[in-house]
Amino acid sequence: MNIVVKTFFGLEEVLQEELAELGYTATEKLNRAVRLKGEWKDVYFLNLHLRCALTVLVELHTFQIREEKDLYKEAMKVDWTSLFEVNKTFAVKGAVNSTIFKHSQFPFLLVKDAIVDTFRDKANERPDVNVKTPQIVIDLYVREKEGVLSLNTSGLPLFHRGYRQSTGDAPLNEVVAAGLIRLSGWDRKSNFIDPFCGSGTLLIEAALLASGIPSSIERTHYAFKNLKTFNADIWDELYNNAKRSIKELPCKISGADIDPEMVLKARRNLRGFSFGRFIEISVDSFENMPIPEGGGTLISNPPYGERLETDVETLYKGMGDWFKQSLQGYNCWIISSSEHGFKSLGLRPDRRIKLYNGDLECSFRKYAIYDGSKKGKYMQNGAETEVETETED
């Protein structure tokens, strides 16, 4: 089968890397997706194990169209009755970017009609549509004259992990969090800290990765379970194997947040995990958080000044000073949409990666804070200058 795994903009390469680590070879890198070959057991496995994926699609039919009614004809070529029972609810979702269609919803209605008519022709019965909580999700993708119909085997996007009970006003998407951790190249052994941890998404995703626990281990809903092809024995075996390969958290992971409410939420989210009690989270402003010795990786999603009221200049300048004074030996990564904030850090980034957090265009930047012996490049008053980093001793 042709499997297409969708992700967010900028995470295609880490998704490929993740697939390679799981023993798969992506045959093609697409825009916000990668394609590979596999069987049903691979579809189950990928849904359970991929951290940087949004949905796992199985391609059913690829075709060309010239006019609107061609889409109905093409959708009638799929034997929908062989895929799911008439008592399951379904929805047709996806993306259409084609001048053939005048109304944005019309292509989805055409496919819906074809599915309903296929069932009526064969069984004289029709399945119901449920747009909000469908049991079966059909994906339609049309780009000009080319179309693909696929089964969305995940259903709800895979960032619905099932572990996050409470969030703040600006939580990081779980798939983005997992992507940031991979992009940072964190070795999963050294210290990991998030001084603006909010509800704890980065800390939890880091701990799941380091302990070998699939990020979706708590998730029970997968659309593939509603398909006729579903083999519960294969799924149970994969799931139990995943549970058996969990190891102890091999590193120190800690966080802080200035807001006691957020710290409570993060602790609540951690409660369900075996590693929960090993992750220390303090109610502190970032500059007062205890820093584990020995260096490591810091990844943070501080306020951007967009959704949360903040004096960005003072906050980011304080962060830059703190990095220089207290975080020698750490690779500090910040995701933010605030260019003004980045400038106020007063540090020259070693890497910049363009990403999105929701609709906000963001940059994910690395600041390697060398220990005293090495030279670091800092910006002073907006101009880049090379200075010797200071040491504590």
Ligand X SMILES: C[S@@+](CC[C@H](N)C(=O)[O-])C[C@H]1O[C@@H](n2cnc3c(N)ncnc32)[C@H](O)[C@@H]1O
**Shortest Å, Cβ 170 to ligand X:** 4
Of residues 129 through 168, those in contact with ligand X by CB under 6 A are 167-168
Q: How far is the CB of 180 from ligand X (least distance, A)?
A: 10
311 binds ligand X (CB under 6 A): no
Q: Give the residue, chosen from 76, 96, 116, 258, that forms a contact with ligand X under the rule CB under 6 A.
A: 258
CA distance 256 to 197: 6
Task: Check residue 305 for interaction with ligand X (CB under 6 A).
Answer: no
- Say whether residue 253 binds ligand X (CB under 6 A): no
Among 121, 259, 361, 390, binds ligand X (CB under 6 A): 259
> How buried is residue 368: exposed, middle or buried, by Cβ count under 10 Å (0-12/13-18/19+)?
middle
Q: What angle do CA 165, 365, 308 make, to 5 degrees?
A: 45
How far apart are the C-alpha atoms of 380 and 345, rounded to whole Å? 10
For 219, other C-beta atoms within 10 Å of its C-beta total: 17
The minimum distance between CB 68 and ligand X, in angstroms, equals: 43
By DSSP bridging, strand 330-336 and strand 296-300 are: parallel
Closest CA to 327 of 359, 368, 360, 364: 368
Contacts of residues 117-126 at CB distance under 8 Å and 24 or more positions apart, as own/partner, are 117/76, 118/76, 118/78, 118/79, 118/80, 118/81, 119/80, 119/81, 119/86, 122/81, 123/81, 123/86, 125/86, 126/86
Contact residue for ligand X among 195, 305, 346, 376 (CB under 6 A): 195
Residue 193 CB, shortest distance to ligand X, in Å, is 12
Judged by CB under 6 A, the residue of 198, 214, 296, 305 near ligand X is: 198
Q: Which of 100, 129, 170, 360 binds ligand X (CB under 6 A)?
A: 170
Residue from 45, 119, 286, 367 binding ligand X (CB under 6 A): 286
Q: Give the three-state DSSP class for 336.
A: strand
Note whether 332 binds ligand X by CB under 6 A. no
Q: Which is it for strands 253-257 and 330-336: parallel, antiparallel or unpaired?
A: unpaired
Residue number of the CB atom closest to ligand X: 198
Q: Is 296 one of the binding residues for ligand X (CB under 6 A)?
A: no
80 or 286: whose CB is closer to ligand X? 286
Contact call for residue 199 and ligand X (CB under 6 A): yes
The residue within the footprint of ligand X, chosen from 3, 54, 138, 172 (CB under 6 A), is 172
Q: Cα separation of 284 and 234, whole Å?
A: 46
Query: Scanning the structure block, which residue is given the tokens 């009614």?
Result: 69
Which candidate, 112, 115, 37, 106, places its Cα nearest to that of 79? 115
User: In 3-state terms, what secondary structure has residue 52?
Assistant: coil
- Note whether 341 binds ligand X by CB under 6 A: no
Does 202 bind ligand X (CB under 6 A)? Our answer is: yes
Considering only 42-50, 198-206, 325-333, 384-392, which stretch makes contact with ligand X by CB under 6 A? Answer: 198-206
Contact between 333 and ligand X per CB under 6 A = no
Contact with ligand X (CB under 6 A) among 303, 305, 346, 349: 303
191 binds ligand X (CB under 6 A): no
Dist CA 189 CA 186 (whole Å):
8
Sites of contact with ligand X (CB under 6 A):
167-168, 170-172, 195-196, 198-199, 201-202, 256-259, 262, 285-286, 301-303
